[in-house]
Amino acid sequence: MSKILIRGAKVLGGEPQDVLIDGETIAEVGTGLSADGVDTVIEASGQVLLPGLVDLHTHLREPGREDSETVLTGTRAAAAGGYTAVFAMANTFPVADTAGVVEQVWRLGKESGYCDVQPIGAVTVGLEGKKLSELGAMHESAANVTVFSDDGKCVDDAVIMRRALEYVKAFGGVVAQHAQEPRLTEGAQMNEGTVSAELGLGGWPAVAEESIIARDVLLAEHVGSRVHICHLSTAGSVEIVRWAKSRGIDVTAEVTPHHLLLTDELVRSYNPVYKVNPPLRTERDVMALREALADGTIDIVATDHAPHPHEDKDCEWAAAAMGMVGLETALSVVQQTMVETGLLDWAGVADRMSFAPARIGSLPNHGRPVSAGEPANLTLVDTSYRGAVDPAHFASRSRNTPYEGRELPGRVTHTFLRGRATVVDGTLA
Amino acid sequence: MKRHLISAADLTRDDAVLILDTAEEMARVADRPIKKLPTLRGRTICNLFFEDSTRTRISFEAAEKRLSADVINFAAKGSSVSKGESLKDTAQTLEAMGVDAVVIRHSASGAPYRLATSGWIDAPVINAGDGTHQHPTQALLDAFTMRRRLVGRDAGLGKGLDGRRITLVGDVLHSRVARSNVDLLHTLGAEVTLVAPPTLVPVGVETWPCEVSYSLDEVLPKSDAVMMLRVQRERMNAAFFPTEREYSRRYGLDSARMAKMPEHALVMHPGPMVRGMEITAEVADSDRCTVVEQVANGVSVRMAVLYLLLGGSEPAVTTPAAARTEENK
């Protein structure tokens, strides 16, 4: 393994420092480090150095929908976006509800080499919400699964949810809930409100999310378990999580980049690129989510990267698939909505996009401080960059981004996974 | 005029009045022994119906044929939402065949907007009803009917419906007719009130340019026209209201209720009517009910829309004198 010297980077946005990588670990952090015996020197003056980003919520689509993404293309997209670890959601075909499937995904991640892939196991068999999957077997497999989720579907049966929360305590697991009351969202196409009323699209009311979150934090309290709320999207959800935390309930929550930036006004275009679940909400919700991410009520940013092939979006709204790709634009959106608004500094970004997600997902070698002896999982960002998003340059197999042509700040110039560069000068290695 | 007619909200007051005035001219053609104009001769119009609607389709077809257009009827029933690609493919097939305009009916809200704006097709798109979104030609024919009755056939020319009080009753939540009517009637200066049980009023209605009431009896005495909306039987099973009987008692229009309306007030219905539930047979068959007139007016209004979107600069109705002048040039 080689020695790499990153010179003059603002570590977590602080004072410029040099970082010496030796093999898989960070050997030294300081000023004026010597380049003797170093194979590569990266002049990073003005750039921000972050711990490698960790995404607790990625859809890699393999097995089953390799036409939209594979573990390889998805991890390449992750590396391009500055990630060194992603959690792969369980809603594949077959569903990741057995030790066999999670081990397959985990192994494909190892083979890809771009980014560590940590599979998420399904809570219930086939995501059907009826019968618990073999949660213990998935935990004991090579994939060492600790996060379980039926994401895409809500574990809506209160008894099943209770049992899952209780059961995973045996091995320190966490249930990540897709909070969506199914009866309240039958036929839902977008946020229920003034825009849906005008457009005549089926409404997805905020209360369908909030009522499930309220129930689940109470269940977690009752059984003394840990619950994680996926892609929180409404101001009311923020209030419930804030209340739960103040009460000492062990709840964590995530927000997606698109819910920090986009609103349901965009649906007026009927362009399915804006169709996502949970749906884009109102300006008031967006502002509440930003505040909550800043004050720590929302713990992390997770992409909900949801690749879809062109034909699943190039159609009428009602027929279109839900979801957006996000791995390659997440950091830019966070820079625009959180850093440039003064809500969060870069140390805060490191926390919300690396330290905290690694902690929630129990990933010991990611989300580590940038200091000597730590694994060299690092991301270097040129924060002064400005440019329009061009999906043609995406590493993801899919192009369903809502940001095409939109100018976003920041660009990942280098990503290191255990000391090996996966991105060099903004290009995949 | 815009190039497409997707939503009643797209029409300015001038556009809307122009369409209604043009429709009056078109209506005169219906009184002639030969009910046909050469206006769209050589033009091909496709009626692209992804959802069944015999009434609307026949109305458009009659309008197209009276303007001498060549008509293609395309009924792509049912499967479109499960197989969304078919809208794009179908559109491009029609484009390749040189269709000059597409009249589209679709169960998905926004499908006509996608068709008009996605670059799949170049021809003008006319929305003949999309999901629970819009049905602009229905709103135009309703406004035309109201203007004729409340302002007058000739007296109404150039005018809107200023100060007239219009009440829409029933399933507003699922009604594209209600949305289109609220937009257009507001544009034309009318005061609109929606009356429905709260379960059938959309969340977000407070931004609409209208009033909302839950009491039909309170609103009837101050209505110049009452438009009953269709209540689909399947709403019964979805707990929007307890029973058909209760709905009928609170929101149905019978002769006792009709008696509370001013003398001149109209009863309207976009059809098809559910007699006995939303409207009694007695009211439906009364002189004040304009259902049949609405159907006739639908053809005139659709002729006007097609002419204005496709006809270019020639006069809509060539009188014999004007035709001679044209020949002498």
Residues A262 and A164 in one domain: yes
pLDDT at position B235, please?
A: 77
Residue B91 has pLDDT above 90, yes or no: no
Question: What architecture is domain B4-134+293-311?
Answer: 3-Layer(aba) Sandwich (3.40)
User: Is residue A168 assigned to a domain?
Assistant: yes
pLDDT at position B322, please?
A: 42
Residues A381 and A47: beta-carbon distance below 8 Å? yes
Q: Which among A303, A256, A68, A272 has a CA at the least distance from the CA of A189?
A: A272
Residue A163 among known ligand-binding residues: no
Distance CA B225, CA A307 (A): 51
With CB atoms and an 8 Å threshold, state whether B114 touches A197: no
Q: Is B237 on the interface with A (CB under 8 A)?
A: no
Q: Structure tokens of B327?
A: 């020949």
Please give the model's pTM, rounded to 2 decimal places: 0.92
Q: Is B168 on the interface with A (CB under 8 A)?
A: no
Q: Is B133 on the interface with A (CB under 8 A)?
A: yes
**Domain end: A330, A361, A392, which one?**
A361
Where residue A383 sits, what CATH number does that domain have?
2.30.40.10
For range B298-321, the mean pLDDT: 77
User: Is residue A90 assigned to a domain?
Assistant: yes
Q: Which among A42, A75, A72 has a CA at the least distance from the CA of A380?
A: A42
Domain ranges within chain B, ordered by starting residue:
4-134+293-311, 136-291
**What 3-state DSSP class applies to A203?**
strand
Residues A7 and A127 in one domain: no
Residues A218 and A349 in one domain: yes
Residues A126 and A95 in one domain: yes
For range B286-301, the mean pLDDT: 94
Residues A189 and A236 in one domain: yes
Residues A105 and A27 in one domain: no
Residues A254 and A144 in one domain: yes
User: Is residue A369 assigned to a domain?
Assistant: no
Q: How many CB pairs under 8 A join A and B?
A: 89
Residues A403 and A356 in one domain: no
With CB atoms and an 8 Å threshold, state whether B203 touches A197: yes
Q: What are phi and psi of A31, to 5 degrees?
A: -110, 145
With CB atoms and an 8 Å threshold, state whether A205 touches B82: no
- What residues contact residue A422 under an 8 Å CB cut-off, 6+ apart? A79, A84, A113, A114, A115, A415, A416, A428, A429
**Does B4-134+293-311 match B136-291 in CATH topology?**
yes
Q: Which helix (H) or strand (E) holds B143?
A: helix B136-150
Residues A271 and A391 in one domain: no
Which domain, by its residues, includes A213?
52-361
Residues A390 and A402 in one domain: yes
For range B108-121, the mean pLDDT: 92
Task: Give tens-digit pLDDT for B262-284.
Answer: 999 999 998 888 888 889 999 99
Distance CA A405, CA A166 (A): 46
Residues in chain A: 429
Residues B214 and B197: beta-carbon distance below 8 Å? yes
Q: Is B117 on the interface with A (CB under 8 A)?
A: yes
Active site residue B83: yes
**What 3-state DSSP class applies to A90?**
coil
Task: Give tens-digit pLDDT for B189-237.
Answer: 999 999 999 999 999 999 999 999 999 999 999 999 999 998 887 777 7
Q: Is the ipTM of this complex over 0.95?
A: no
Q: For every one of its 429 residues, what pLDDT tens digit does chain A have, with 9 covering 90 and above?
A: 689 999 999 999 999 999 999 999 999 999 999 999 999 999 999 999 999 999 999 999 999 999 999 999 999 999 999 999 999 999 999 999 999 999 999 999 999 999 999 999 999 999 999 999 999 999 999 999 999 999 999 999 999 999 999 999 999 999 999 999 999 999 999 999 999 999 999 999 999 999 999 999 999 999 999 999 999 999 999 999 999 999 999 999 999 999 999 999 999 999 999 999 999 999 999 999 999 999 999 999 999 999 999 989 998 899 999 999 999 999 999 999 999 999 999 999 999 999 999 999 999 999 999 999 999 999 999 999 999 999 999 999 999 999 999 999 999 999 999 999 999 999 999
Query: What is the fold of B136-291?
Result: Rossmann fold (3.40.50)
Q: Is A201 on the interface with B (CB under 8 A)?
A: yes
Residue B324 has pLDDT above 70, yes or no: no
**Domain end: A312, A328, A361, which one?**
A361
Residues B103 and B45: beta-carbon distance below 8 Å? yes
Q: Considering only alpha carbons, which residue of chain A is nearest residue B119?
A: A314
Cβ atoms within 10 A of the Cβ of A166, count? 16
**Domain end: A361, A386, A401, which one?**
A361
Cα atoms found within 13 Å of the Cα of residue B103, Cβ hemisphere only: 30
Mean pLDDT of chain B: 90
pLDDT classification of B317: cutoffs 50, 70, 90: low
Q: Considering only alpha carbons, which residue of chain B is nearest residue A311?
A: B85
Total tally of structural domains belonging to chain A: 2
Residue A57 among known ligand-binding residues: yes
